[in-house]
Structure 1
Amino acid sequence: MTVVALLSVAPVTEDSMAGEVAEAVAALEEFDVSYETNPMGTVIETESADELFAAAQAAHEAVDGDRVSTVLKIDDKRTSDEAASEKVAAVEDELGREAHGDRE
C-alpha cells in the first residue's frame, strides 16, 4: 500500500515562516517516507498510515511557536500502490503535456 498526503505545517506569524517550515521538513528525515516540498506544502509518500501520522506529528512538533497551524490531506487508495509521480503522469497523459505552466 502507498499512502500519499499533503502536509502543511506553519507557525501563525506575520514574519517569515521559512526557518520553522525548514524545521518541520527536516523532522521528516527521521521516518521512512519520501517527500517533496512545494510552495503550498509537502507531499509525503509512505507505506503505511501509521508512519505517515508519526511523521506528520513530528513535523508539527518541530515548529516552535505560540500557535502552529497544520493541515494533513491523505489519499489512502487501498486497492493499488500508485505513487504520487504516477498520479501526475496520468494527468499529463490526459493533457498531452507537462502539468505546469510558466509565469514570469
Structure 2
Amino acid sequence: MTVIALLSVAPVTEDSMAADVADAVAALEDFDVSYETNPMGTVIEAEDVDTLLAAVAAAHKAVDADRVSTFLKVDDKRTDDRPATEKVDAVERELGRPARSDRE
C-alpha cells in the first residue's frame, strides 16, 4: 500500500519560518519516506501509515518554538500501490498539459 499526506509544520511567529520549516523537512530524512516541499506544505509518501506518522511526529518535534502549528491530511488508499505522482499524471492526462501555469 501507499500512504500519501500533505504536511505543514510551522512555528507560530511573525518572523520568517524558513529555518524552522527546514528543520522539519530535514527530520524526514531519518525515515523511509519520499517527500516534496512546495509553498503550502510538504507532500510525503510512505509504504505504511505507521512510518508516515512517525515521520510526521519527528517533523513536528524538530521545530524548536514556544508554539508549533501542524496540519496533516492523509490519503491511505489501502487497495492501491500507485505512487503519489500518478495522481498528478492522471490530472495532466485529463488537462492535456502540465498541471501548472507558465507564470513564474
TM-score by shorter chain over 0.5? yes
- 1:74 and 1:82 map into 2 onto residues whose CA distance is 15
TM-score by length of 2: 0.98
Instruction: Look up the SS of the partner of 2:77 in the other structure.
Output: coil
Question: For each residue in 1:40-65, what CA deviation from the matched residue of structure 2 results, as whole angstroms up to 9, or x when unmatched?
Answer: 00000000000000000000000011
* RMSD (Å), alpha carbons: 0.7
Moved over 2 A (4+): none
Corresponding residue number in structure 1 for 2:8? 8
The size of the alignment, in residue pairs, is: 104
Long gaps (5+) in structure 2: none
Identity of paired residues, percent?
76
TM-score by length of 1: 0.98
Displacement after TM superposition at 1:87 (Å): 0.5
- 1:101 and 1:82 map into 2 onto residues whose CA distance is 26
Displacement after TM superposition at 1:79 (Å): 1.2
Long gaps (5+) in structure 1: none
